Structure 1
Amino acid sequence: MKPFEQFIGQMMESARRVQARDPKAATDVIQQALAQAGLLAPQQKTGAPPPAPEFVDLNPPPAWSKPRPRPRPAPGADSGLPGRFIAGSHACEAGSRRYKLYVPAHLPAGRRPLIVMLHGCTQDPDDFATGTGMNALAEETGCLVLYPEQDGRANRSHCWNWFEPGHQARGAGEPGILAGMTRQVMKDHDAEPSQVFVAGMSAGGAMAAVLGAEYPELFAAIGVHSGLPAGSARDMISGLQAMKKPGRARSLREAVPIIVFHGDADHVVNAANGEAVLKQFVGAHAGLRATPLHASEDGASAGGRRSTRRTWRDEEGQVMAEHWTVHGAGHAWAGGNPAGSHTDALGPDASREMLRFFLNR
């Protein structure tokens, strides 16, 4: 058995212990798994009760070899840019979340596009902004960039809870909060309603898929990097199973244009999930428009890694979907800044390609 498969099996066993109302046994399984993966140093026993186990999106992947040090971004790491990176919060009936918003120094006249960026587990807005470099691109294009922040009280690993039914439907849970936050920022900063987009990494990518499925009137297109299809899990155990091997994704009655990035060496979220996300949204386009989507394929070497891009166009020639397979890449944002976590600097530049796809709507 491969180390990653063993780790997944242990996490699933821990979840079973939780369901059996045996939190101590579940904690023991988690600690054993982390110790075997080199992620937990041996600890002396204390009289304190063990922490309750919870879902972990496995982002970053287990470090089977000695990890190399990586510089961490400081708060406001994009302060060298001329625009403003401001903090805010949004509250509604579904709950509340904080956010950071990048406002370029030289905004275009009239309304401007808005990009919503959903971080992965263990990340935050500053880290994700640094790693993706999206704020620098915003200066080039005059876009607003919104970075919602997951609350540690909602998920201790700061994962968006994409795997829970309560966070997969319109008007409730985290999708409701994120949609409300988007509308608030649109109103406060004069965003163009026809040019609002959402992209995310890992758990953030899975939540971006949920938002694209549930709010097609709000988001003009979505980007899913190393994520999973909307509604691909119903609890922690099925979430872990989907990360290893995607199941059958639910059909969508309506969907938005989509761009997908996934590394074919991703051992955290299996690359087959990228294909599953694509199939989910392309299927909705085909049924909705009643016209075939034509696929084309090309190979390219960009930014140091070979990648394969496939595109689907409608009968008018409009690109409705793109799928990028980054060969040899793991669970990391393609073309990202190494000063941010979970990035692969070798490229291709996922941020630039997503922005191109969005703004060509």
Structure 2
Amino acid sequence: MNPMNANMGEVLRLTKNGQLSEAVALIQGRAAPGGRAPSEGSRGLDKTSANSDVVDMVAPTQPGGTWTPPSFATPDHTTHDSAASSTSPLEAMQSMLDRIGAGATLSDFESLPTLGGSTGGRRTKAPMQLPDRARFEERSFTGDAGTRAYKLYIPSGYDGGRVPLVVMLHGCTQSPDDFAAGTRMNDLAEEQAFLVVYPGQSATANPQRCWRWFSAEDQKRGRGEPSLIAGITQAVMAEFAVDPTRVYVVGMSAGGAAAAVMGSTYPDLFAAVGVHSGLACGAATDLPSALAAMKTGGVVRPRGGKTIMPTIVFHGERDKTVHAVNGEQVIAQQLGGDLRAVTSRGTSEAGMAFTRTAYVDRSGREWLVHVSLAGAGHAWAGGSPVGSYTDPRGPDASREMLRFFAEHANSAA
């Protein structure tokens, strides 16, 4: 019997018996099958080391309980993959499946505990407070590919005049409410007067509520999840006075990869794309290639001479969930024409260093922007600690994306 398959069988046995911490330890190589301690010299959990392995979700105390976020020492650095973190349970499962080989499928780990609990991501600390006359409505859309719930933010200043629309795609284990809280995009909608729509992935479509960016069927126009996200976008445009030339799509992690897919499949619908900690369109076509792409980068198809989709990327240099090379590949996939790179460096108010590379045309107009975050992990830069997967220390990714979007209108709309 393949020892890797045997190890997976032991992981499933431990999980079934409620020994979730032991199961995670086995996946991470911190315990041998049967619960034995790792051999001397193997990597263990050293809580006193600056480079210690930090599990980013805490196992339940009782079988069948909910996985919960850890208690952070301070509320100012709420990130599930900060520079101090190393290997999360999801990454450990990824590593196990990667070693099992190309025969691994999603069903190999569907029976393992849902890392984000049953809520699809850590809940916000308190119900969102809305300004007078603002609305944050829960809706749903049904298309040929199924049904997805979504939330729509209508700012208090909306008066029926034409406004931009920003489509926000959350990451794995997150929800529309969580993503809205973490990115503060609704606050910016109040300030700048635009609509924000948050499509929500369902647990039936993916146990971790990940958008299926890695599925070949979900990378095609008019098919699968792209058709649902486009359908939600078009439904909002039909009901409200949306400027059709100023519709933008943004995503984080799996949502970032899905945003890249939407920019590629619906260039007539979206004027620009924002990808935070995500991957390029087509970087993977199934689960094994997705895990490989997250670890070392994907096999990216060139644009083939098509018009450049204006794209802005944020990615942490120490992202251990989606390797930073993927951010570079998002940009590389769009590069073309007579663009030159202009690089600058800066530091956020909270002290995070970053490198910003803009690809500009002869007039100096930015078409592509890549912001590399020094020391940052898998977290939304400049986000609120009220939401999950955020790093408040970073530059304000939400505001910078909006600034970039304002420079681009869709002539194809």
Aligned to 1:66: none
Deviation of 1:93 after TM superposition, in Å, equals 1.0
Selected match of 1:296 from 342, 345, 350: 342
- How far does the alpha carbon of each residue in 1:13-42 deviate from its partner, in whole angstroms, 9 at most, with x for none? 57xx9xxxx995673598665244555469
- Tell me how far 1:110 sits from its aligned partner: 2.4
What is residue 71 of structure 2 aligned with on the other side?
Answer: none
Name which of 237, 258, 261 aligns with 2:311. 258
Code of the residue aligned with 2:346 in structure 1: it is A
1:353 aligned residue: 400
Q: Give SS of 2:147's match.
A: strand
Tell me the equivalent position of 1:197: 248
TM-score (normalised: structure 2): 0.72
Match of 2:206 in 1: 155
Amino acid at match of 1:353: E
Unaligned runs of 5+ in 1: 1-9, 46-50, 62-69
Cα displacement string for residues 189-231 of structure 1 (whole angstroms, at most 9, x for unaligned residues):
1211100000000000000000011111100000000000101
Structure 1 length-normalised TM: 0.82
Superposed structure 1 runs of 4+ greater than 4 Å apart: 22-26, 28-33, 36-45
Please tell me the residue identity of whatever aligns with 1:116: V
**Conserved? CA contact 1:60–1:331, under 8 Å:** no
Percent identical among aligned pairs is: 45
Larger Rg, first or second structure (1 or 2): 2
Matched-pair contact (CA < 8 Å) for 2:277–2:315? yes
Q: Distance in 1 between matches of 2:169 and 2:319?
A: 19
Task: Give the secondary-structure state (helix, strand or coil) at the position aligned to 2:255.
Answer: helix
Q: CA deviation at 1:92?
A: 1.0
Are residue 186 (structure 1) and residue 254 (structure 2) matched? no
The answer on whether the counterparts of 1:35 and 1:41 sit within 8 Å (CA) in structure 2 is no
AA of the residue aligned to 2:374: H
Query: How does 1:279-294 map onto structure 2 within 5 Å?
Result: 279-282=332-335, 286=336, 291-294=337-340
| Counterpart contact for 2:131–2:156, Cα < 8 Å | no
**Range that drifts further, 188-197 or 34-43:** 34-43
Matches within 5 A, 1:79-228: 79=130, 83-107=134-158, 110-228=161-279
> In structure 2, do the counterparts of structure 1 residues 28 and 90 end up closer, same or farther at CA, with 3 Å as the change threshold?
same
Query: What's 2:290 paired with?
Result: 239
User: 1:55: Cα distance to partner?
Assistant: 6.8
Amino acid at match of 2:313: V
- Rounded Cα–Cα distance in structure 2 between residues aligned with 1:248 and 1:152: 28
Q: 1:306 maps to which residue?
A: 353
Supply the AA of the counterpart residue of 1:258.
Answer: T
Tell whether the 8 Å contact from 1:243 to 1:268 is kept in structure 2 after alignment.
yes
Name the stretch that deviates more: 331-340 or 71-80.
Answer: 71-80
Give the unaligned 5+ runs of structure 2.
29-54, 65-105, 409-413
2:370 corresponds to which of 278, 303, 323:
323
Which amino acid in 2 is paired with 1:102?
A: Y
2:325 counterpart residue number = 272
Counterparts of 2:290 and 2:310 in 1: how far apart (Å)? Answer: 25
Compute the displacement of 1:237 (Å): 1.1
